[in-house]
Amino acid sequence: MNDLNALSATPAAKPIRKVDPKNADTAKNFEAVFLGQMTQMMLESVEKGEFNGGAGEDMFRGVLAEKLGTEIANRGGVGLAPVVLDQILKLQQGK
């Protein structure tokens, strides 16, 4: 088998489980908040140039970070939501 065939082979299917939409939303929201906090820290590390938004920019920088985190999570995130969802399900099942 050559390397191209190995890459195109489909992995074994995971068992399909029914997930409560509330749990999935909770996991996604957790990721959005986490990404918002990370974005906030990144924005704080950027030096302000000669031309900046002044007090208005400072006031709304947190809102921008929150919205960026939410949008990143809505577009697939960084893979944190599925891990959080697994942990939520384990806690509910008592494992």
DSSP string computed for the chain:
--HHHHHHSPPPPPPP----HHHHHHHHHHHHHHHHHHHHHHHHHSPP-SS--HHHHHHHHHHHHHHHHHHHHHTTTTSHHHHHHHHHHHHHHT-
Q: Tell me what pLDDT residue 9 has.
A: 47
Q: What is the mean pLDDT of the chain?
A: 84
Residue 49 or residue 35, greater confidence: 35
- Domain ranges (residues) in the chain: 19-93
Q: Tell me what pLDDT residue 18 has.
A: 77
Quick: pLDDT tens for 40-75.
Answer: 999 889 887 777 777 888 889 999 999 999 999 999
80 has a pLDDT exceeding 80: yes
Q: Tell me what pLDDT residue 16 has.
A: 59
Q: Model-level pTM?
A: 0.73
12 has a pLDDT exceeding 60: no
Q: Which two tokens stand for residue 40?
A: 């906030």
84 φ/ψ sector (left φ>0, alpha ψ -120 to 50, else beta): alpha
d(C-alpha 22, C-alpha 74), whole Å:
15
